Amino acid sequence: MTDRRSSNLTYRHTDILNVSIFIAIATLRVRIVIKFTIRVQHLIDRGIYDLCLWRLGSKSYVKLKMDKARTFVIPDKVCRRAGLSAVWFPSNKLAAHAYRHVTAHSQDKYSEFAPCEAMVHLVRFDVMLFDPIARKLINESNGTFLAGQKLVAQAGGTDIRGELLKLSRQYRSIVRACLENLQSEASKIESSRKEVCLELVVIFYNVEFLWHLCEILYVDVIPGDVVLPQIMEWIKFHFFHYERQAKGILSGEYGSSVLDNGAENEPEYWNTIIGLVLQGRLDGARALLKLHSASPSEPFKSVDYVMRTMPQYSVFGGLSLTEFNMRWKGWQNETACKLRAGTFASRKELELIMKLMVGDEEAFLEVKDQCGTWYQFMASWLLYTEPTVKSFDLSYHAHQCIAKFGGISRLKHSDLILLALMESDLHQVIRLIEQTSENGWFAAHLTNLLHHCGCLKILDSQQGNQSVSLATNLHEQLLLNYGTLLMSHRSLWQVGISYLDHCSAEGRAHIEVLLPTLPLGSEARALKIIQVARDRDLHNIVASTSKIMGMRSYQQRRLGNALTWALRSQDAGFATYLANKFLELYSREGKFHSLDLLDNLGSCMLVSDRLTFLGKYCEFHQLYHAGEFRDAAALLVSLLASRLAPKSFWMTLLTDALPLLESNDIVLTSEDTYELLNSMEELLGEGQIPDFGDTPGSNKLTTVQDQSVDTNSVVEEKVKLIRLALARNLARSLNHEGCLVD
């Protein structure tokens, strides 16, 4: 029985939902009540939060522990016997496995559990907010959030309260739009998704409900601090059960008897009128009273008069507060006189309504149940006792009304938040909001808004003066949490970063840690991450990401791609290594891979000497193939003369010089020839055996002996040829140059 009551309470706000959903929830509720024993006290403690625990009751292993930390059971026999250990892995997932600690002193043998099933259990938080349906909410609220930050940054010291109020309304309309989506989604889809949608509906309904009050009390600037009209709007907006009933009666939906016999035959007639009166919807109440068969009679006319003449306070009504109070008192005295005179005695329903309107406490207690909640009760009570109540008095009234509804202990989570709001205890509000189950969306955005409104400064004065501002701390912490959460999502990470960007103290460090751990996946994704890092001047992330992509390409044997990434990372060592690989491949296969890249290195080749050489060497080939032998020859000589070429490659260069030396035209001057000769002597003088793939780290396929026998003979042959060519060219060039001098 208690279960049912608590669930009723929890779902009270769902009045707003269309009927079909309400039925769906009701069936869900019944099922839950039948199936599970739920700790009632706990439900009341946790309010909206616990709604989410319910559904999973059917699947989960949730157990509640005394210290409120939950115990989760992993179904693994070995884990139970041996014990459990767990490690974290990105992003915020846990891997748990059976574990028995062994030390260096214990014997190295199979454990008592072997052979056993060694399971690893991956545990992760199932984030409601990552449901595809909430995506729009996340993105739209991000837009509003960023607009807010921009606004504050531009405002300087000017008052932007009005703008902030607009933002607050924007947030609420985003939530409302999300609710609409959820409802339409819930009405059409199958069971499992439906439950998720309904859960989200309840959560976000509450969010909007709380945000609205918060907006009234903290964001909106109300002249004279007369908050009641706004609070009445809030109540009317969220609880329109009676209004709907009234509409039904007025439009004759409740049967054709209304106009003939009077509407009082409707079972809900009086309840509806009282409900309307309690919400201050007097026009509706009057319209309903007119439908009563006895409406022309005297008591009805008096009631109509009282209702018509009740003064309504409005800032723009032209009345000062004192003037209004005087009028209001006069009106109430007049009504009280009528009551005492027994004007309404003949009709006890009318008498009750009048008693309510003069603020009679007994009458209010009588209709307590019709108010439903303590805050509705409070709003009605204040409407007829103290319509110009100031916001700082709300706390007192709230406590009075809560006492009438069974005291603090009966409050649900959302009630506690409302109470804290009325008590102006924002610290408590935020703490409670943090525990709600929309994964920090609410807390982060609301706190941010309140922060900009300057409301959080109160926190610091409340908490005593500490060196670091608690408010800023708290505000940043919530943004960090929310941003970090989004960072863990495959595609929402960019949204997450925009929140971290606005955390002045630790945001950058968070980005620095989280951004590189995003799985790189495709090249496009890697480039996007690099762009984001570059925008924030995080050059080490740019370099590191490029390097990782380069290593990956290299591992996949895509040398050209690897080199592109190496250039992006500006990693000289890696570029050198890859350049060597290219040269090695060239030596082995006689042609270059990824020639288009190598031919167009441009200034990038300056990253490393070896790469410069590679680039220049390719240029040599280009020139040679274009038939520009003179330029090609000059380049070749300069490569050797500048010692840019690795020694191991000299023989290749000298071999490349052969056709140039033997060409019909003289392309190498005597000086060039001397240079080549010099290089060759140096090479042979060092006794270095030129070897085609002698680059560091290369895998030699032939054994050392084979190599020396084979290559030596080849090299000797080559050396002879080159010497001959050099000598002939020297003779020719000297001859030619001699002629020129003459």
| 586 vs 589: CA distance, rounded Å | 5
Nearest-CA neighbor of 525 among 165, 393, 533? 533
Q: How far is the CB of 557 from other proteins (least distance, A)?
A: 6
Site for other proteins in 545-564 (CB under 8 A): 547-548, 551-552, 555-558
Which residue number, 52 or 357, has a Cβ lying nearer to other proteins?
A: 52
- Can residue 647 be called a binding residue for other proteins (CB under 8 A)? no
Among 1, 103, 159, 705, binds other proteins (CB under 8 A): 103
| 144 vs 480: CA distance, rounded Å | 17
Which residue number, 69 or 739, has a Cβ lying nearer to other proteins?
A: 69
Among 23, 30, 123, 341, binds other proteins (CB under 8 A): 123
Given the rule CB under 8 A, which of 106-114, 185-193, 240-248, 387-395 is the region that contacts other proteins? Answer: 106-114
| 635 vs 623: CA distance, rounded Å | 9
Site for other proteins in 665-704 (CB under 8 A): 696-697
Q: How far is the CB of 75 from other proteins (least distance, A)?
A: 6
The phi and psi torsions of 84 (rounded to 5 degrees) equal -135, 145
Among 146, 520, 572, 658, binds other proteins (CB under 8 A): 520
Nearest-CA neighbor of 566 among 516, 524, 610? 610
Site for other proteins in 355-414 (CB under 8 A): none
| 546 vs 523: CA distance, rounded Å | 10
Looking at residue 28, its amino acid is: L
- Can residue 589 be called a binding residue for other proteins (CB under 8 A)? no
Q: How far is the CB of 460 from other proteins (least distance, A)?
A: 13
| 142 vs 392: CA distance, rounded Å | 33
Which residue number, 187 or 435, has a Cβ lying nearer to other proteins?
A: 435
| 76 vs 118: CA distance, rounded Å | 9
DSSP reduced 3-state for 390: strand
- Can residue 626 be called a binding residue for other proteins (CB under 8 A)? no
Looking at residue 164, its amino acid is: L
Q: Which residues contact 186 (CB under 8 A, 6 or more apart)?
A: 21, 24, 194, 197, 198, 201
Among 26, 84, 282, 585, binds other proteins (CB under 8 A): 84
Among 453, 474, 579, 660, binds other proteins (CB under 8 A): 474
The phi and psi torsions of 317 (rounded to 5 degrees) equal -80, -5
- Can residue 465 be called a binding residue for other proteins (CB under 8 A)? no
Q: How far is the CB of 482 from other proteins (least distance, A)?
A: 10
Among 23, 30, 56, 709, binds other proteins (CB under 8 A): 56
- Can residue 421 be called a binding residue for other proteins (CB under 8 A)? no
The phi and psi torsions of 85 (rounded to 5 degrees) equal -135, 160
Q: How far is the CB of 184 from other proteins (least distance, A)?
A: 24
Among 17, 21, 28, 96, binds other proteins (CB under 8 A): 96
- Can residue 523 be called a binding residue for other proteins (CB under 8 A)? no
- Can residue 595 be called a binding residue for other proteins (CB under 8 A)? no
Site for other proteins in 242-301 (CB under 8 A): none
Given the rule CB under 8 A, which of 105-113, 280-288, 627-635, 653-661 is the region that contacts other proteins? Answer: 105-113
Nearest-CA neighbor of 309 among 278, 331, 334, 286? 331
Tokens of 399: 């406590």
- Can residue 66 be called a binding residue for other proteins (CB under 8 A)? yes
Q: How far is the CB of 103 from other proteins (least distance, A)?
A: 6
| 185 vs 175: CA distance, rounded Å | 15
DSSP conformation letters of 231-279: HHHHHHHH--HHHHHHHHHHTTTT-THHHHH-GGGSTTHHHHHHHHHHT
Which residue number, 128 or 634, has a Cβ lying nearer to other proteins?
A: 128
Partner residues linked to 390 by β-bridges: 226
- Can residue 585 be called a binding residue for other proteins (CB under 8 A)? no
Which residue number, 238 or 547, has a Cβ lying nearer to other proteins?
A: 547
Which residue number, 108 or 589, has a Cβ lying nearer to other proteins?
A: 108
Which residue number, 22 or 113, has a Cβ lying nearer to other proteins?
A: 113
| Inter-CA distances, 693 with 133, 621, 647, 688, 715, Å | 58, 19, 12, 13, 14
Around Cβ 219, how many Cβ atoms within 10 Å?
21
Q: Which three-class secondary structure string do you get for 441-481? A: HHHHHHHHHHHHHCCCHHHHHHCCCCCCCHHHHHHHHHHHH
Which residue number, 41 or 400, has a Cβ lying nearer to other proteins?
A: 41
DSSP reduced 3-state for 17: coil
Which residue number, 473 or 663, has a Cβ lying nearer to other proteins?
A: 473
Q: How far is the CB of 627 from other proteins (least distance, A)?
A: 33
Site for other proteins in 22-41 (CB under 8 A): 35-41
Tell me 518's DSSP state.
S
Site for other proteins in 528-547 (CB under 8 A): 544, 547
| Inter-CA distances, 636 with 277, 590, 668, Å | 100, 17, 10
- Can residue 577 be called a binding residue for other proteins (CB under 8 A)? yes
Q: Which residues contact 131 (CB under 8 A, 6 or more apart)?
A: 196, 200
Given the rule CB under 8 A, which of 125-133, 248-256, 268-276, 309-317 is the region that contacts other proteins? Answer: 125-133
Size of the site for other proteins (CB under 8 A): 122
Around Cβ 164, how many Cβ atoms within 10 Å?
24
Q: How far is the CB of 138 from other proteins (least distance, A)?
A: 14
Looking at residue 318, its amino acid is: G
- Can residue 527 be called a binding residue for other proteins (CB under 8 A)? no
Given the rule CB under 8 A, which of 57-65, 241-249, 325-333, 639-647 is the region that contacts other proteins? Answer: 57-65
With tokens 């191991």, the residue in question is: 648
Q: How far is the CB of 581 from other proteins (least distance, A)?
A: 10
- Can residue 114 be called a binding residue for other proteins (CB under 8 A)? yes
Tokens of 52: 């989410």
Site for other proteins in 300-359 (CB under 8 A): none
Q: How far is the CB of 722 from other proteins (least distance, A)?
A: 33
- Can residue 461 be called a binding residue for other proteins (CB under 8 A)? no
Q: How far is the CB of 5 from other proteins (least distance, A)?
A: 15
Site for other proteins in 710-739 (CB under 8 A): none
Cα 38 from chain centre = 32
| Inter-CA distances, 89 with 128, 491, 517, Å | 20, 19, 10
Q: How far is the CB of 129 from other proteins (least distance, A)?
A: 8
Around Cβ 401, how many Cβ atoms within 10 Å?
23
